[in-house]
Amino acid sequence: MEIRTRRRRPHIPEIRVGKKEEEEQPLSPAARLFHAPEFSCNIISVVGLKNKIKPDVIVEGIKQTLIRHPRFSCKLVKSGNNKRQEQRWVQTNVVAEDHVVIPKIEMHNIENANADAFLDSYVSDLTTIPLDTSKPLWEVHLLDLRTSDAENVAILKIHHSVGDGMSLMSLVLACTRKTLNPHELPSLPNQKRALSGSRSYSRFLWLVMVLWSVVMLVLNTVCDALEFIATAMFLEDTETPIKGNFRLSTSKRMCCVHRTVSFDDLKLIKNAMNMTVNDVVLGVSQAGLSQYLKRRYGEQEEPMPKGIRLRAALLVNIRPATGIQELADIMAKGSKCTWGNWIGYIIFPFSIAFCDDPLEHLRRAKSIIDRKKNSFEALLTFIVGNFIIKSFGVQRAANILKRALSNTTMSFSNLVGPTEEISFYGHPVTYMAPSVYGHPHALTMHFQSYMNKMTISLTVDPTVISDPHRLCDDWEESLRSIKAAVQERSCTT
């Protein structure tokens, strides 16, 4: 999730990749963690295409771009024994065709809603099939399948040890071009920072404000650190119908679905409430979760408990995202740039309640996330995580993180996408729906903007949440009610 926090860049050696890097390179601490049995995480991105897929064109495009990135031409090699095992990336010759899967689909039996259900089932089945470690850890599935929102579908599956979500999304975008200008890379919206108003204050007052800000920063960080420690030790979320139990095993078939809504609606609410898109997404999600839990408790003929503790692990990118142009240069010229997994966590408490004013969900979410921004929580979890891995080993670090995440309810992330239509190797894109699985949560919500659309991707444990589409319905209904409340407020002012 793109959250601007007050953070300094950690003094941890950067992994820089380029065409002429060494043939062997050790895995970073985070990459080693993602290969632990408790955290064998993979990223899946479903890409809807406007036109019928031309496999030969896509394979040739992959040869010219993706496999020229060092991480996509390296395989994982393990050495040593069970007590002390070394894992390294080793350069290998890549045959693009070995990474492209084209399933045979009997289209005469699949139409409209059945095609959407088939796609959901196909993606869900991929969560049960591990990637082949004898070759680089990625694959592309090309489905000649017409769904309700795409003519054909491409699915990218990449092991999380290859890179963090933001870096991988930037890399995928570096393989695309603007549809109206096939020689131009996609453009992302400018991220405007709030300007400081210190010039309007006296020097003394400005100094007092700075000191107070530093004091609050330290206090918030200490409080967040203590909460994370407590969560790793004993502080559990309320047992609700959406909280899974991953203490014994994380090897489960996950169900992956998506829903696309109007990004313009989110921006309308953002502008009216003077918030960020992240604030709005969190607020609408809080309202949607409240509505969904109300229904689930009603179906069980149980009253919904008061004071529900329901927290999400928000994934935060620690470093500035690698530019699309930089990644394009890696694949075209063999230049270098920073790469790897640089993610931290923020524990975000959702306020599950029913509000007479739907806008109250937005205000509560904004209040919480504003306080979280004024903290080094994400940076601290990243640094401490790396320290534990290096000092005590991957297994102990995986156990600690698994326990901490198991005591929360869900994961949450949000990525910004291109503002104009792009083409994936000559195929115009209608939507992008990335998500991740393999971590100990029964619910992961991911949001991806693209042009005037926002795609919601849900990855759920079907034994816990058997009706993910109803959760999407509740999210969409909450967006409509909040939009109506904003418009009504505008008419009365």
Give me the chain's average pLDDT, please: 86
Q: How far apart are CA 217 and CA 224, in angstroms?
A: 11
The pLDDT tens digits for 168-213 are 888 888 889 999 998 888 888 866 554 444 445 578 788 888 888 8
pTM over 0.85, yes/no: yes
- Per DSSP, helices labelled H in 334-407 are 359-373, 377-392, 394-406
> Which pLDDT value is given to residue 422?
95
- 3 state DSSP class of 415: strand
pLDDT bin (cut points 50, 70, 90) of residue 10 is very low
Q: CB burial class (10 A; 0-12, 13-18, 19+) of residue 382? A: buried
pLDDT bin (cut points 50, 70, 90) of residue 442 is very high
Q: Which two tokens stand for residue 256?
A: 């992956």
Q: How far apart are CA 343 and CA 448, in angstroms?
A: 18
> Which pLDDT value is given to residue 249?
58
Positions marked active-site: 160
* CB of 14 closer than 8 Å to CB of 139: no
Q: How many percent of the chain have pLDDT more than 70?
A: 87
The pLDDT tens digits for 362-393 are 999 999 999 999 999 999 998 998 888 888 88
Inter-CA distances, 12 with 242, 338, 340, 390, Å: 37, 12, 12, 12
pLDDT at 283 over 90: yes
> Which pLDDT value is given to residue 281?
97
For the ranges 106-110, 158-162, 221-225, 285-289, the lowest mean pLDDT is seen at 106-110
Place of tokens 């998500």: 435
> Which pLDDT value is given to residue 197?
46
Q: How far apart are CA 119 and CA 137, in angstroms?
A: 22
Q: CA torsion 33→2→455→143, rounded to 10°?
A: -40
The pLDDT tens digits for 208-251 are 888 888 899 999 999 999 999 999 999 999 999 999 887 655 56
* CB of 113 closer than 8 Å to CB of 98: no
Nearest CA among 103, 147, 110 for reference residue 125: 103
356 or 433, greater pLDDT? 433
